[in-house]
Structure 1
Amino acid sequence: MGYAFTPGDVLFLQSPDGTAALEEMDGYTLSSSTRLADIGQARRRFGSYASVLMETVMLRRKAVAKLPGTGSWLFTNDALQQATPGAVAVHRARRLRDRNVHDVTCSIGAELDAAASTAATVIGSDIDPVRLLMARHNVPEATVLRADALVPCTRDTVVLADPARRSGGRRTHHPAALEPPLPDLIDAYSGRDLAVKCAPGLDFDRLDWDGEIEVISLDGGVREACLWSPGLSAADVTRRASVLTSDGSSWTLTDAEDDELPERSPGQWIIDPDGAVVRAGLVRHYAARHGLWQLDPRIAYLTGDSVPEGARGFRILDRIKYSEKALRQELARHDCGVVEILVRGVDVDPAILRPRLKLRGNRSLSVVITRIGRAGVAFICESPPVKHSRVSGRRTVRRSESE
């Protein structure tokens, strides 16, 4: 849960005494091995403020990778976990350039900070008094006020929202179970330009949405989806995949592009598209852009004779009809001692399968287990490092059949 900040805590942290205490506390190691000694020293030095100072310093350290440049910010633990990564917020802010933006769930200000560099005006609101005080501290150039996200209080603004899970609740994929409920939020701003950040696994089939759904990945991991109202998206785009890296490079793909593919036998490579492409339903569009084709129309693996720059490819060495026995024999023949197992479309658990293969060789290989038509197949592959990309591969990957 983390420390429960009060408005008084935030005011202290902003004061000259609080600022000086934070600077001193930042010199503490605060590691698992020094934690008890640090707590004791902090209590002797700062008394009742020790906990709030320690929590703030530790949260600032956690924020370094996710929110670069926020070394002087104030956070709560939940707010930091829920905050949009800096690179994703900057990407969204570029689409809001020169607009008046009102973030109606501004929290501690991660989206506000990005929008402030591109928007004409930035306004933030929230119902949490602690987070509002932190947002005013973190983004002083924004106008911040207390308001319910479901009660419009500005005009002529683009409304930006980030509904959260209910407090203490499990992760949900139902739009009506968010806080505030997504259908209510959409109704409250009917006819307005609206951008809503959502979890990428949200069940969009339960939502009546006639704008664009953008799925965003960062450094190889799918981070979020964003709903863009028709006024904020191109007329012929309903799905978009945006692939970002922390070094600032990016590319995007939409359903306005061609998706006509040839039907051919597997090429020299199997390509695993970025998760944003898969979640956005743009696998065929990605294949058409890069001269690839599908192993099976219902499976997200692609194939071709070359690998697009930055994508993960697996060079096919052999193909067999899948069975555990046949795969074990084939990997032994290839002198395999370490295997990465990727699965889509068949009921195979890599964690259970791997020890049963009893590998004793010297070679590291990848196995792609999938189906073509009704037949389960296994491809034994080499997986060279990804070039010109910061996206890293995963050792064990299981894909659902729907992907």
Structure 2
Amino acid sequence: MEMAELAALLTPDGLRLLDTLGAPAAVDDVAGIVSRLRRDGHSPDLVSAVVGQARLRAKAATKFGPFADRMLFTRAGLEQATRLEIAARHAARFRDAGLARVADLGCGIGGDALGLAGIGLDVLAVDADEITAAIAAYNLAPFGDAVTVRHARAEDVDLGGVDAVWLDPARRTAGHAETARLGADAWSPSLDWVLGLAEHMPTGVKLGPGLDRDRIPDGVEAQWISVDGSTIELVLWSGALARPGVARAAFVVRGDTAAELTASADTEDEPVRPLGAFVHEPEGAVIRARLIGDVARTLQAGMVAEGIAYLTSDAALTSPFVQTFRVREVLPLKVPAITAALVAADVGTVEIKKRGVDIDPAQFRRKLKLRGTRTATLILTRTAAGRVAILADRV
């Protein structure tokens, strides 16, 4: 979004037009709506802004639910925003630690600040991008004096009177649409600056889940978060926000359920064992936190192979930290053998999973020439006995 588009949008007529537009459902709808709005005499800047916002609001429903219908976004800001349910859980840490005034440095479009303000905390929300800060101010306006929004660099903010900090460093190139990932040394503010701040005051730092673990300092809690099968972020907690005795945590959300696994350090994996009646796929947060061993012990399971994040067991057990599959048949990892087994089982729809083998699932699926009426899961992996294809069913 350009400043001219934002200026056209942030008027009573512009916002009223956006609220009456609804969400364009397809490209054809967008073209038709643009033509209609232009015929009605609306400026190009306003038409571009309202149509773009309508499309972003439709996408934002997955992160913000019904709140999306009264928010503004940039494409990059929406992509990088924290889901509201996760932001609310983060906010609860500050409240439970007795921290009443929080600076949200790098607030983006205001997703995390919404969570903080929504449970009654005072928030200073700051972003280095002028347009993004203006959008955050609009999104946070319902909280009145409880939220102050500023356009500034995180490094330049006076933190006097602030109890704690929430930080989401800019980890991509500047812009409101297409952006590219940056290395940790090029973040804004830099990771070194962020970690230095975390040494002196209670801080929560939102980072990408793939952060080099060597960059995680001692004395902080590292919490990886998975939502509906995707590992979405790593949060480092310091000071009063870090839980005593917890250095590693895996927080897993699926649908309406949530569960967390914590430990004082990385845990030791269970030994490799032969394939059993079940295969378990640990959630990404569990893998990133290196807590697979703890999950394996609760399932009476072992690893399928060294360095492969699949577990196997004979016990009919599962947990919130894995997806469990009942093994039907173990096959050679060869297309003819797999095809024959799928035909015999009348399987025409397969979910393909793979670890430890250099295979493109989409290309492999085409080779199978699927037909049949039933569904199954095909797990392509390496085991202690070699490369195999496991025909299985979700439990």
Q: C-alpha offsets along residues 97-153 of structure 1, whole Å, 9 cap, x if unaligned? A: 142211011122111010112353211111222222222221132111232112341
Give distance in 1, aligned partners of 2:252 and 2:24: 36
Please list every run of 5 or more consecutive structure 2 residues that lacks an aligned counterpart in the other structure.
none
Q: C-alpha offsets along residues 263-320 of structure 1, whole Å, 9 cap, x if unaligned? A: 6543321111222212222211222234433223422111232242554222112224
- The reply on whether 1:62 has 2:59 as its aligned counterpart is yes
Residues 169 and 73 (structure 1), Cα distance of their counterparts in 2 relative to 1, 3 Å cut: closer
- The reply on whether 1:193 has 2:202 as its aligned counterpart is yes
Q: Offset of 1:182 from its aligned partner?
A: 1.8
Residues 120 and 33 (structure 1), Cα distance of their counterparts in 2 relative to 1, 3 Å cut: closer
Give distance in 2, aligned partners of 1:364 and 1:217: 26
Q: Offset of 1:60 from its aligned partner?
A: 2.2
- The reply on whether 1:157 has 2:163 as its aligned counterpart is yes
Superposed counterparts of 1:160-239, under 5 Å: 160-164=166-170, 165-167=172-174, 170-172=180-182, 174-208=183-217, 210-239=219-248
Instruction: Pick one of 79, 82, 85 that aligns with 1:81.
Output: 79
Q: Offset of 1:217 from its aligned partner?
A: 1.3
SS of residue matched to 1:339:
strand
Provide the residue aligned with 1:40 in structure 2: 35
Residues 333 and 63 (structure 1), Cα distance of their counterparts in 2 relative to 1, 3 Å cut: closer
Provide the residue aligned with 1:394 in structure 2: none
SS of residue matched to 2:158:
coil
Q: CA RMSD in A?
A: 2.8
- The reply on whether 1:275 has 2:284 as its aligned counterpart is yes
Provide the residue aligned with 2:118 in structure 1: 117
Please list every run of 5 or more consecutive structure 1 residues that lacks an aligned counterpart in the other structure.
385-403
Q: Offset of 1:206 from its aligned partner?
A: 4.2
Provide the residue aligned with 1:131 in structure 2: 132
CA contact (8 A) 1:240 1:253 kept: yes
Q: Offset of 1:363 from its aligned partner?
A: 4.1
Give distance in 1, aligned partners of 2:168 and 2:316: 39
Give distance in 2, aligned partners of 1:199 and 1:10: 29
SS of residue matched to 1:342:
strand
Superposed counterparts of 1:271-310, under 5 Å: 271-304=280-313, 305-309=315-319
Q: C-alpha offsets along residues 314-338 of structure 1, whole Å, 9 cap, x if unaligned? A: 2112224544454444445544444
- Quick one: which amino acid aligns to residue 154 of structure 1? L
Give distance in 2, aligned partners of 1:363 and 1:193: 53
Give distance in 2, aligned partners of 1:31 and 1:334: 39
Provide the residue aligned with 1:396 in structure 2: none
- Quick one: which amino acid aligns to residue 109 of structure 1? G
Residues 358 and 235 (structure 1), Cα distance of their counterparts in 2 relative to 1, 3 Å cut: same
Q: How many residues align?
A: 377
- Quick one: which amino acid aligns to residue 306 of structure 1? A
- The reply on whether 1:241 has 2:242 as its aligned counterpart is no
CA contact (8 A) 1:241 1:252 kept: yes
Q: Offset of 1:54 from its aligned partner?
A: 2.5
Give distance in 2, aligned partners of 1:326 and 1:30: 44
Provide the residue aligned with 1:254 in structure 2: 262
CA contact (8 A) 1:243 1:276 kept: yes
CA contact (8 A) 1:260 1:288 kept: no
Provide the residue aligned with 2:107 in structure 1: 106
Q: Offset of 1:187 from its aligned partner?
A: 2.8
- The reply on whether 1:350 has 2:361 as its aligned counterpart is yes
Give distance in 2, aligned partners of 1:209 and 1:46: 60
Q: Offset of 1:211 from its aligned partner?
A: 1.2
Residues 109 and 295 (structure 1), Cα distance of their counterparts in 2 relative to 1, 3 Å cut: same
Give distance in 1, aligned partners of 2:371 and 2:76: 46
Instruction: Pick one of 130, 144, 149 that aligns with 2:149.
Output: 144
Provide the residue aligned with 1:392 in structure 2: none
- Quick one: which amino acid aligns to residue 51 of structure 1? S
The structure in which a higher percent of residues are helix is: 2
CA contact (8 A) 1:183 1:207 kept: no
Give distance in 1, aligned partners of 2:253 and 2:354: 25
SS of residue matched to 1:143:
strand
Give distance in 1, aligned partners of 2:310 and 2:163: 42
Provide the residue aligned with 1:21 in structure 2: 17
Give distance in 2, aligned partners of 1:266 and 1:373: 9
CA contact (8 A) 2:273 2:312 kept: no
Residues 238 and 360 (structure 1), Cα distance of their counterparts in 2 relative to 1, 3 Å cut: same
Residues 313 and 189 (structure 1), Cα distance of their counterparts in 2 relative to 1, 3 Å cut: closer
Residues 281 and 309 (structure 1), Cα distance of their counterparts in 2 relative to 1, 3 Å cut: closer
Q: TM-score if structure 1 supplies the norm length?
A: 0.83
Residues 51 and 260 (structure 1), Cα distance of their counterparts in 2 relative to 1, 3 Å cut: closer
